[in-house]
Chain A
């Protein structure tokens, strides 16, 4: 009975999956909201210990990569295969930059004895402990999703290069793009909630 590929249906399926991811992170934001209400001054203090500049750089990196991913779809739609490939490579590269930044950020924190169940956090103010606990869980889960997103973009890249993703058949790229944008969306909230509550 299937007469062709129902692109809208595939898109609906992807959005449904995105909803589940939104709610997944939503649970963590519930915790953030409750604890921010409880420990506002310590969240503020914790925020000061995070580097606003690196956070802003990471925000810009993800925003630009969202642009390049969206642009890669336009490129595919316009049959500009080389452009699409270039844009996708750049997007994946942005993901790498983001993760490298994260690695240095976390590393710096570990160096200062700020990590789950560390001496400093356990013996210090409980509000700070919760702030950093949430910081690690949320950015950790987000980082995992960045990795997954990069994998999906890489698969799309290979398919574009192999000519399997074309101007008439690009659902894979479109859906990988949606996933990547979701990763960007989450970070758009994470950034002010952790770096700018000062």
Chain B
């Protein structure tokens, strides 16, 4: 068999060599990998900050740091995790790599804009780093930058919010690229109902990226303007209303959580059918629910503000709307379970991680109902209950979807396979550590421990200690998973073009793909999750994949 040159060997545009073949590339696959290394870097940094925070909290009083450092650290942890990891990770890495291939085309619509998005991402990250080491130090406002503190504080708020602004632009331009590619570049034979669900989820996400991100852009600009010119738009003494800041902030930041979760759900929708050897249940329902989540998610922002002082009418309205948003998410969970029902389940690391996702995300989603209902929210608002809820959905959800995506698409991106056993050990340890880490926080929150507090009452110490212990387990599990993945570079077990028995177009091209993605013209299936051919292969004695 003729070995086709992979995209690693062929720079695009042609003629570039060395580092320039990466830094000046138009190839969506190279950009995806460049995003990956940067994002993994930020993930590790933010995770270490998280671990330091929880270590500090393991015992009462000062453990390893003082209160100012603690406040800056939780701000940093939040800012980095949200803007430099959770929001970009799946779209920028796997979206960039696979959306064009899943659509049967050779790149995104605006390749140079894609490169520019990467530079914006890197520039934003550098800005964030600069804010650490200049001025009066990193902000301690929390990643939410609430006024009046963010306007009055001496710390480097302006530089940090400008970093977030730049990162927002990167996100918006990626969304713009994906939508245009989706509409204009897919294979002529691929109708809307033949597009894989991962791409659909990226499409829904892209709309939220374009429409919601500008709100945070203007909000952050206003923070800087207020810091510079003291207009008073949010200051009661000058006629301003600080609650309006919160409205503007959450008008983005709530849809942002759907930017975070929708691509993750898309990953799960790809993985479950493959390892159930069964077509996805409710393809159309999943498409509609993705768009539904994007729309409904823009109606509920003020559920973050029940105790802020806004009117009772809006408290009532937003609580009511928040319950609606749970429905499309539930539709997806049911669809995934229904897909597995009477399927031929094959355990692999991506599937295990996807199953863990379903469990953790469901817990997170259900606890969201506790928060969405006003009566119960009054009790748990700004406590560790909230912290646990959003970590269940953002980490147990998107985080695990990210790990699942890594394990699913690793052989395709690098042409090599990792060892399964260590992946399982890492995944299970991460999940156990995760539960030990975050379940105590639900209880602590119910018992009344506030969030963002440096110190606490004696009765909370046991829970915090347990949580800290869980945190170390969690990090150990992640370390094992990543070391195992990186060891695949050393072991160099080659991966075939389809190690899993999957049906979407990326599995019909070599691993890793050539620079223009397709060797032969892509054959568009009538339905993207048609496993009949996979079934035939297995009947003929061919293994769908190599078991390690």
Residues of A within 8 A of B (CB): 1-2, 6, 8-9, 12-13, 16-17, 19-28, 30-31, 34-35, 38-39, 116-117, 121-122, 125-127, 129-130, 133-134, 136-137, 141
Contact = CB atoms under 8 A, between A and B. Distances in A.
A19 B211 contact: yes
A35 B222 CA distance: 15
A117 B230 contact: yes
Given A19-B210, A133-B232, A30 B247 contact: yes
Interface stretch (B154-162, B175-183, B484-492): B175-183
A190 to B, nearest CB: 15
B18 interface: no
A27 B239 CA distance: 18
Nearest to A30: B248
Contacts of B222: 27, 137
A1 B215 contact: no
Contact of A28 (B176, B218, B251): B218
B231 interface: yes
Contacts of B232: 117, 122, 126, 129-130, 133
B448 interface: no
B248 A27 contact: yes
A25 B221 CA distance: 11
A134 B231 CA distance: 9
A76 to B, nearest CB: 23
A141 B221 CA distance: 10
Contacts of A129: 231-232, 238-239
A23 B110 CA distance: 22
A27 B214 contact: yes
Nearest to A131: B239
B105 A27 contact: no
Identify the 4 closest CB pairs spanning chains A and B, nearest first. Answer: A126-B239, A27-B218, A9-B184, A133-B231
A122 B238 contact: yes
Contact of A6 (B109, B175, B217, B229): B109
A67 to B, nearest CB: 28
B106 interface: yes
Most buried by B among A26, A125, A127, A134: A26
Given A27-B215, A28-B218, A136-B231, A8 B238 contact: no
Interface of B is mostly: helix
A2 to B, nearest CB: 8
B477 to A, nearest CB: 39
A108 to B, nearest CB: 19
Given A20-B213, A31-B244, A126 B238 contact: yes
Nearest to A17: B176
B244 A20 contact: no
A137 B214 contact: no
Nearest to B516: A1
B331 interface: no
B233 interface: yes
Contacts of B494: none
A20 B214 contact: yes
14 contacts: A2-B106, A12-B183, A16-B176, A16-B179, A16-B210, A20-B172, A23-B214, A24-B214, A39-B239, A117-B232, A122-B232, A125-B239, A130-B232, A133-B233
Most buried by B among A26, A130, A134: A130
A121 to B, nearest CB: 8
A178 to B, nearest CB: 14
Interface residues of B, number: 41
Contacts of A13: 109-110, 113, 176-177, 180
A31 B109 contact: no
B225 interface: yes
Most buried by B among A1, A6, A35, A39: A1
Interface of A is mostly: helix
B270 to A, nearest CB: 24
A8 to B, nearest CB: 7
Most buried by A among B109, B219, B239: B239
B248 to A, nearest CB: 6
A23 B221 CA distance: 14
Given A13-B177, A27-B248, 8 more contacts: A2-B106, A12-B184, A20-B213, A26-B214, A27-B215, A39-B239, A129-B231, A129-B232
A116 B218 contact: no
Contacts of B215: 23-24, 26-27
A115 B366 CA distance: 50
Interface in B181-230: 183-185, 210-215, 217-219, 221-222, 225, 229-230
Interface string B144-178: 00000000000000000000000000001001110
A134 to B, nearest CB: 7
B66 interface: no
Nearest to A27: B218
A8 B179 CA distance: 13
A8 B180 CA distance: 10
A35 B239 CA distance: 9
B241 interface: yes
B225 A137 contact: yes
Contacts of B217: 24
Contacts of B535: none
Given A9-B185, A23-B215, A30-B247, A130 B240 contact: yes
Nearest to A42: B239
Contacts of B231: 116-117, 129, 133, 136-137
A122 B229 CA distance: 12
Contacts of B105: 1
Contacts of B211: 19-20, 23
B239 A8 contact: no
Contacts of B240: 130, 133
Nearest to B179: A16
Contacts of B184: 6, 8-9, 12
Contacts of B239: 35, 39, 125-127, 129-130
Interface in B124-157: none
A23 B184 CA distance: 24
A133 to B, nearest CB: 4
Contacts of A6: 109, 184-185
A21 B211 CA distance: 9
Nearest to A38: B241
